[in-house]
Structure 1
Amino acid sequence: MDETENPIKDLCEILENILEHSSGDSCLNAWASALDFKSTNMYQAVTALAGVISLVERCEAAAQHIPGDRELFLKPLKRVKDMIINLNLNSPWHSSSSYLDAATIAGLKYGIYAIDQFYPGAQPEKSSAIKDYVAKIDALLEELLQSDLPDEVKDLFSRHLHALSVALTSIRINGIENLEATLDSIYGSLYRRSESINEASPGNERIIKKFMEIVGHANELASGWENASALLTYSAPLLLPLIKTVV
């Protein structure tokens, strides 16, 4: 089964785990047990708790995709935030666990269902399309590094493929805005370097064309999330007019 992106589910699993901890033990030990870090290592503790805060923020961003009254989903997330803001690691765990009452946990579980219904990144077929596309990028990157392209062009393409992979991965969390900005940057860079790419084209047409097709299909994704299935096959590359010798 394809992995899907449901940050509220991830958060709920952490909280249900920590609620099983002894109420009389310290908050530090409770979080250490739930997040799997050593309670004697404060760097690990701070890093792990920062990860929880980041997860809550991802939940809030995902909740924006849910139609209707979002307070139903944002209110329990605010309770979790308040718990962390007021956290005293030396206090007994029950001083924090009171934030996670039955209503808060029930609200989070309802949020899990809502995210599965409305959040693009939580839909298996869309997650699968992104996963397959990122795999294509990784494969092309390996092929690119073994190619005979000049180092300047090889480095340029490699940086753009890495940026594209990161943007496509984050689309399941933050939507298409970062992908659109990444593509704008790539287009501008390729246009400015078109002369160098043209000079490198003889003998390297195939690898350059595959790169342009990868970028062109990412543009299809940015133009409409519903077209994600189109990413699984190649079509006419958007950027080939810039690279005359590859047409």
Structure 2
Amino acid sequence: MDIKNNPVGRLHDILREAYSFKNTEVTQHVWQAVLDAPADDLGGLLKLLSDLIVLNGQAKQAVIDGIQGDQTLYLAPFKKTDQMFARIDLSGGWNNSKQFLDETTLNALAFGNHALEAKHGKCKLSSEQTIDFIEKLDQLLRDCLDSDLPDSLKKLFHKNLESLRQALISYKISGVQGLEDEVDRLIGAMSRHSAEILDQADESSKGFMKSVFEVIGSINESIQLAETAMKLSGPAVIALLPIIQSL
């Protein structure tokens, strides 16, 4: 499934998926499934739900800012979504939340998505690709812990890889902008420590480092809008080239 760039589209897709669950489900289980949250990580689920509530507000503002003329139809569903998010009870039955969702509400969000889609463009990174990148980062995190890197570099790589992993997990909610911001932040962090990275690189760690930068480059390329897609040598990652070329 493609993740929409515009917030109304992302909200619609998430709520449409949630709406498909039976009334008898437990609310916590529904959101864990929809938001791809681990079953044993309540804190992670609460963070994702907080992000989802922020997305609801961003979607409403996108309608106000981006749709000309009468906005009544496009703003109507937010009365229901505001009520739903204000009454979340994770231990309760899903029907308590689902009562605020119906075809009329979801169709109005779909209309809003259609009206805003042309303004926001499309991203090339699908949810399936996101899962693949998360799996690659999981492996790199294990490789990092098993590596012979000095503790300072091990901490640097582990911290930034985990932050990128979390950004990919929340990509379904935050969209391309949140992921772009994290990639840019990571590139800046790696660039600032480039001298230390190159000084400490040896034959046993070069393969790991190259794999890290290849994944960063692949994610960066995938999140670019179709009309402005850039390769690894593009401006967004140009700061990493001295490190990459020296490994």
Aligned pairs for 1:63-142 (under 5 A) are 64=62, 71-81=72-82, 105-112=103-110, 118=117, 126-142=126-142
Whether the aligned pair in 1 keeps the contact of 2:77 and 2:106 (CA below 8 Å) is: yes
Structure 1 residue 195: deviation in Å?
1.9
Q: CA contact under 8 A between 2:167 and 2:179: conserved in structure 1?
A: yes
The aligned counterpart of 1:180 is 180
TM-score (norm 1): 0.59
Counterpart CA distance in 2 for 1:51 and 1:214 is: 24
Change (3 A) 1:61 1:217: same
Q: 1:34 to 1:113 in 2, by over 3 A?
A: farther
In 1: Cα distance, 2:18 partner to 2:244 partner: 50
Distance in 1 (alpha carbons) for counterparts of 2:181 and 2:149: 27
Q: Does 1:58 align with 2:55?
A: yes
Separation (CA, whole Å) in 2 of partners of 1:123 and 1:221: 8
Contact 2:77/2:109, CA 8 A, preserved across alignment? no
Task: Report the alpha carbon displacement of residue 187 of structure 1 after superposing the two structures with TM.
Answer: 2.2
Give the structure-2-normalised TM-score.
0.59
Cα deviation for residue 10 of structure 1 reads 4.9
The structure with higher relative contact order (CA 8 Å, sep 6+) is: 2
Residue matched to 1:35: 27
Amino acid at match of 2:12: I
1:115–1:129 Cα change, 3 Å? farther
Deviation at 1:207, TM superposition (A): 0.8
- Looking at structure 2, the residues matched to 213 and 50 of structure 1 have their Cα atoms a distance apart, in angstroms, of 29
Task: Please state how far the C-alpha of 1:34 moved relative to its aligned partner.
Answer: 6.2
Residue 209 of structure 1: how far off its partner (Å): 0.9
Contact preservation (8 Å) 2:124, 2:222: no
Q: Distance in 2 between matches of 1:177 and 1:128?
A: 18
CA contact (8 A) 1:12 1:108 kept: yes
Q: Which residue of structure 2 lines up, in the alignment, with residue 93 of structure 1?
A: none
Alpha-carbon distance between aligned partners in 2 of 1:199 and 1:171, rounded to the nearest angstrom: 34
Deviation (angstroms), 1:160:
0.8
Decide which moves more: 145-154 or 168-177. Answer: 168-177
Amino acid at match of 2:178: N
Residue identity in the other structure for 1:72: L
> Which ranges in structure 1 are unaligned for 5 or more consecutive residues?
22-32, 38-47, 90-95
Equivalent residue of 1:148, what SS?
Answer: coil
> 2:244 & 2:126 partners in 1: Cα distance?
31
Is 1:137–1:161's contact at 8 Å kept on the other side of the alignment?
Answer: yes
> Mean Cα displacement is larger for which, 72-81 or 200-209?
72-81
1:83 Cα deviation after fit: 7.1
**Is the 2:51–2:174 Cα contact (8 Å) retained in structure 1?**
no
More displaced 10-residue stretch of structure 1: 197-206 or 167-176 = 167-176
How far apart, CA to CA, are the structure 2 residues paired with 1:147 and 1:53?
A: 35
CA distance in 2, matches of 1:112, 1:179: 24
Structure 1 residue 197: Cα displacement = 0.8
State the one-letter code of the partner of 2:104. Answer: A
User: Does the C-alpha gap of structure 1 residues 107 and 196 become closer, same or farther in structure 2, counting only changes over 3 Å?
Assistant: same
Do the aligned partners of residues 215 and 225 (structure 1) sit closer, same or farther apart at CA in structure 2, a change above 3 Å counting? same
CA deviation after TM superposition for structure 1 residue 153, in Å: 0.8
Q: State the 1:3 CA deviation.
A: 9.8
Tell me the residue number matched to 2:160.
Answer: 160
Identity of aligned residues (%): 25
Computed over aligned residues only, the root mean square deviation of the Cα atoms, in angstroms, reads 4.6
Which whole-Å CA distance do the structure 2 matches of 1:218 and 1:144 have between them?
Answer: 19
Query: How far off is 1:208 after superposition?
Result: 1.0
Q: How many angstroms apart in 2 are the aligned matches of 1:126 and 1:217?
A: 13
